A and B are shown apart, each in its own frame.
Chain A
Amino acid sequence: MARIRFRDVRHAYPPPKGQEPVYALNEINQVWEDGGAYALLGPSGCGKTTLLNIISGLLTPSEGEILFDGKEVTDLPTSARQIAQVFQFPVVYDTMSVFDNLAFPLRNRGMDEKLVQQRVEQIAEMLDLTDNLKKRASGLTADGKQKISLGRGLVRSDVNAILFDEPLTVIDPHLKWQLRSKLKELHQQVGVTMIYVTHDQVEALTFAEKVVVMYEGIVVQVGTPVELFNHPRHTFVGYFIGSPGMNVLPCSIDGGQPVFGKNLLNIESRIKGQLQGKLEVGIRPEFVEFSDDGIPVRIEKVEDLGRYQVLTLTHESEIIKMVMAEDQTVPSENPRIQFDPHHTKIYCDDWVVEEAVNE
């Protein structure tokens, strides 16, 4: 088990002849604590898989260092890093039984057969594979095979970290939910560092203690699910976490307060000094509410999503999403809205203006 540290890590894939390199990863400086459950979250192309491959040793970064418990491993091959990996699609030995598949990483390292037996049975139990131990892996469904892959990743107790690369992609939603809970339970029991790559916010937020949000090769925020929801540091975090994402609306500043359209918005504090750049106000759909003396809007659409309703509103040409309880009704005439001042944030060139929050 290890604490993982990245020092000024950057990576560029070799560019086509005559072109400047484009960095897939930029200035990663991170410390991930031993025994933590981390999720790397971001859209495709954000650099999360590149970062994962740097941890596992499949890729050597163009610049910077990676350290496990203070020891540099930047140039060590995967085999010398004591890492277990679970991939998107099941990797199983079809001709072997489920038991032998699970035992494989242990026997490979010459573990005593009695201990192998014990450990395999324990993991099989956790993953509900006990009844299938004697079956040949080839006879299992895609779900079952992926469980074997998970089991093989989890079976060793001597690893520095377990890396999961979108491991639940092929799993049915109903089962996904169970497996996510299982993984979390397992993490609580074994306490090994787990790093989970996904583009799915629900997976990231349920699995991880800390979510590392990546966008265009940089880490835009590391935080607990609550921090990411309540205090998005970057407009991308606001947009990507939450469904629908945060409303990001153009604004100007007047007397330290944001102005949206012709409406002065009430926020917790005043903005000091002059801000240079693109100014925007961020408000989550959950923190928009109807109010008699608020901003006039037009209701374009009301969607019934079961437990809540999503409203699409417009003010002049700006679209604003709003979330409303399932039993709430829409005002019949002259709808007006207001933004919760505690959750209204100002962004300058996509980064949050901290003064607005901390003062």
Chain B
Amino acid sequence: MSIELRNVTFRVGAEWYIYETSLTLEPGDFNILLGTTLSGKTTLMRLMAGLERPTKGEIWASGKNVTGLPVQQRSVAMVYQSFINYPSFSVYENIASPLKVAGLGKKEIDEKVHRFADLLKLTPMLNRLPRELSGGQQQRTALARALVKGADLVLLDEPLANLDYKLREELRDELPKLFADTGATVVYATTEPLEALMLGGNTATLKEGRVVQFGRTSSIYRKPATLESAEVFSDPPINTAIISKQGDQAVLGEVASWSVPAELAALPDGEYKIGLRPHHLLLEEQGVEVDGTVQIAEISGSESIIRVKVNGNVWVSQTPGIHSFVYGEKIRIHFNSNNCIYFGADEKLIDL
């Protein structure tokens, strides 16, 4: 089904959870809500599910106004961060439970349970109790229960957050495939930018109760509409700085200057902002060089993450190889100016 939020706000007393938001999700799409905790992801989902009623505005599902319609009367399934299963039911009974409630026949239930157990690799565990399963298997059981209902809208609230790193990697790979076959509209909340990229689909970046931007995941990443959207979609944090544009030159304080693309050169001179992702700021020589002072360097696998103070800003460089630096050390780092994302003084993207 399609889901449309029309000028929806949500407030409890004086506290705003969601500022005015309009958002349309197309049928069968995989949608990601990306933002930190308290950015409004869960509240948006509860509004879509009908677990909360908007303070103002309307919610439409497949062209019908469903504002105020209780969750029981909607075709919705939800999976939470902490796996919820019936502890005294076997995996089979857990998966079958929504079908029993819906009054399906024994044979149909059996057929569906087996199909989804198979899909989620739970067939060998059908007779076990949830406590006899690993965390990943428990969450797969909860997912199977959400899927078996055949709901038109599936809401997944950080469903992988409590799982082992490697299990997360596997399920992330499987999830979009699973839902592609069911035709359900999926909404998936996460705090992790990399997870959003891995899942693909569409992404809405959220900050403090506002949807900052919504679109195809890779285009939101490559062309963030605002600096704020770029910040939400970057881990480690995106490097930012104020530059002064003079003709076709970008000037970063006393530290560096470089040529800007023609489209930007044609705009009025003055203050602009840049965003530069940490993996584009390297020790390896290229393009523009800047000098800075090391704050801290940490090693992650085969790369180093170096925090460097450059012209008053603390920047992060995510650079290949193992490099040890001590606090206060002077270093020279480099970036290719083609990788700069330019924003106006109002922090809106300058689309090049």
Cβ-defined partner of A240 (8 Å) among B166, B221, B318, B322:
B166
CB pair B298–A180 under 8 Å, yes or no, is yes
CB neighbours of A45 from chain B (8 A): 134
Residues of A within 8 A of B296 (CB): 181, 184-185
- The chain A residue with its CB closest to the CB of B279 is A307
Is the CB of A21 closer than 8 A to any CB of chain B? no
Question: Does the CB pair B166–A181 fall under 8 Å?
Answer: no
- Let me know if B198 and A303 touch, CB within 8 A: yes
Which of chain B's residues have a CB closer than 8 A to the CB of A304? 197, 218
Q: Which residues on A sit within 8 Å (CB–CB) of B37?
A: 172
**Which residue of chain A is the closest to B237 with respect to CB atoms?**
A174
How many chain A residues sit at the interface, stated as a range, is: 35 or more
Of the candidates B191, B279, B298, B318, the one whose C-beta lies within 8 Å of that of A181 is: B298
| Contact among A44, A206, A243, A303 with B305 in the assembled complex (CB-CB below 8 Å) | A206
A50 to B298 alpha-carbon distance, docked (Å): 28
Q: Which of A229, A239, A305 contacts B301 (CB 8 A)?
A: A229
Report how far A307 CA is from B191 CA in the complex, Å.
18
Docked CA distance A44–B299 (Å):
24
Contact A177 B299 (CB under 8 A): no
- The residues of B that contact A173 with a CB separation of less than 8 Å are 36, 191-192, 235
**Cβ of B307 under 8 Å from chain A:** yes
**Complex Cα spacing A180 to B277, Å:** 20
A198 CB, nearest partner CB in chain B, Å: 9
Contacts of A174 in B (CB 8 A): 36, 191, 235, 237
Is B150 an interface residue when CB atoms closer than 8 A count as contact? no
Q: Interface size on B (CB < 8 Å)?
A: 33
Give complex CA distance A202, B235 in Å: 12
Assembled-state Cα–Cα distance A225/B303 (Å): 10
Q: What sequence of 0s and 1s flags, for each residue 169-205 of chain A, a beta carbon within 8 Å of any chain B beta carbon?
A: 0001110010011001100000000000001111001
Q: Is B200 touching A303 in the complex (CB atoms < 8 A)?
A: yes
Q: Once the chains bind, are B277 and A307 in contact (CB under 8 Å)?
A: yes
The answer to whether A226 and B302 touch across the interface, beta carbons within 8 angstroms, is yes
In the complex, A199→B296 CA distance in Å?
Answer: 24
CB neighbours of B169 from chain A (8 A): 243-244
The answer to whether A306 touches B197, judged by C-beta atoms less than 8 angstroms apart, is yes
B200 pairs with A226, CB closer than 8 A = no
**Known A-B contacts A43-B164, A200-B165; A305 and B198 likewise in contact (beta carbons under 8 Å):** yes
Q: Complex: how many Å from CA A185 to CA B301?
A: 18
B279 CB contacts on chain A under 8 angstroms: 307
- Smallest beta-carbon distance B238→chain A, Å: 11
Q: Is B236 an interface residue (CB 8 A)?
A: yes
- The minimal Cβ–Cβ distance linking A207 to chain B, given in whole angstroms, is 8
Q: Which residues of A contact B197 (CB under 8 A)?
A: 303-306
Find chain B residues with CB under 8 A from A261 CB.
none
Report if B331 contacts A (CB, 8 A): no
Smallest Cβ distance from A244 to chain B, in angstroms? 7
Residues of B within 8 A of A172 (CB): 36-37, 191
Partner of A202, one of B167, B277, B300: B300
Q: B205: shortest Cβ distance to chain A, in Å?
A: 13
Docked CA distance A241–B301 (Å): 8
CB distance from B317 to the nearest CB of A (A): 13
A245, B166: Cβ atoms under 8 Å?
Answer: yes
Q: Are A184 and B298 in contact (CB under 8 A)?
A: yes
Report yes or no: B277 in contact with A177, Cβ–Cβ below 8 A. no
Q: Is A286 an interface residue (CB 8 A)?
A: yes
Tell me the nearest residue of chain B to A240, going by C-beta: B166
Measured between beta carbons, the chain A residues less than 8 angstroms from B237 are: 174, 177
CA gap between A90 and B314 in the complex, in Å: 30
B135 at interface (Cβ–Cβ under 8 A)? yes
| Interface of A, helix, strand, loop or mixed by DSSP | helix
- Known contacts being A173-B235, A174-B237, is A306 close to B221, with CB within 8 Å? yes
A242 in contact (CB, < 8 A): yes
| Of B134, B135, B192, B298, the contact of A206 (CB 8 Å cutoff) | B298
Indicate with 1 or 0, residue by residue over B36-64, a CB within 8 angstroms of chain A CB atoms: 11000000000000000000000000000
**Given that A172-B191, A240-B166, A304-B218 are known contacts, is A181 also in contact with B307, CB under 8 Å in the complex?**
yes
| A225 and B277 form a contact (CB under 8 A) | no
User: For residues 276 through 317 of chain A, which have their beta carbon under 8 Å from a beta carbon of chain B?
Assistant: 286, 303-307
Nearest Cβ on chain A to B283's Cβ, whole angstroms: 16
In the bound complex, how far is the Cα of B316 from the Cα of A180, in angstroms?
15
Mask of B303-318 contacts with A, CB within 8 angstroms, 1/0: 0010100000000001
**Residue A95 interfacial (CB < 8 Å):** no
Contact with A along B263-287 (1 / 0, CB 8 A): 0000000000000010100000000
B194 within 8 A of A: yes
The interface centre, meaning the residue of B166, B197, B200 with most chain A CB atoms within 10 A of its CB, is B166
Residues in B whose Cβ lies below 8 Å from that of A305: 194, 197-198
User: A44–B164 contact, CB under 8 A?
Assistant: yes
* Cβ B300 vs Cβ A199 within 8 A: no
- Contact of A199 with B301 in the complex, beta carbons under 8 Å: no
> In chain A, what residue has the closest Cβ to B296?
A181
Q: Are the CB atoms of A286 and B302 closer together than 8 Å?
A: yes
Nearest chain B CB to A135's CB is how many angstroms away? 18
Q: Which of B299, B305, B318 has the most CB of A within 10 A?
A: B299
B295 to chain A, nearest CB (A): 9
Residues of chain A contacted by B301 (CB below 8 angstroms): 201, 205, 225-226, 228-229, 241-242
Within 8 A of A (CB), among B142-168: 164-167
B166 touches A226 (CB 8 A): no
Chain B residue nearest to A143 in the complex (CB): B37
**With A and B bound together, what is the CA distance between A206 and B298 in angstroms?**
6
**Given A174-B237, A304-B218, A306-B194, residue A230 in contact with residue B302 (CB < 8 A):** yes
Task: Note all chain B residues with C-beta closer than 8 A to A44.
Answer: 134-135, 164
Across the A-B interface, give the 4 residue pairs with the lowest CB-CB distance, nearest first.
A307-B279, A229-B302, A199-B164, A206-B300
Q: A172-B191, A177-B237, A245-B166 are in contact. List 18 more A-B contacts (CB 8 A).
A: A172-B37, A174-B235, A177-B235, A180-B298, A199-B164, A199-B165, A201-B165, A202-B300, A205-B299, A206-B298, A206-B305, A225-B301, A229-B301, A239-B166, A241-B301, A306-B221, A306-B277, A307-B277
- What are some 9 contacts across the A-B interface (CB < 8 A)? A43-B164, A174-B191, A177-B235, A199-B164, A229-B302, A241-B301, A243-B165, A244-B169, A306-B193
- Chain B residues engaging chain A, CB cutoff 8 angstroms: 36-37, 134-135, 164-167, 169, 191-194, 197-198, 200, 218, 221, 235-237, 277, 279, 296, 298-302, 305, 307, 318, 322
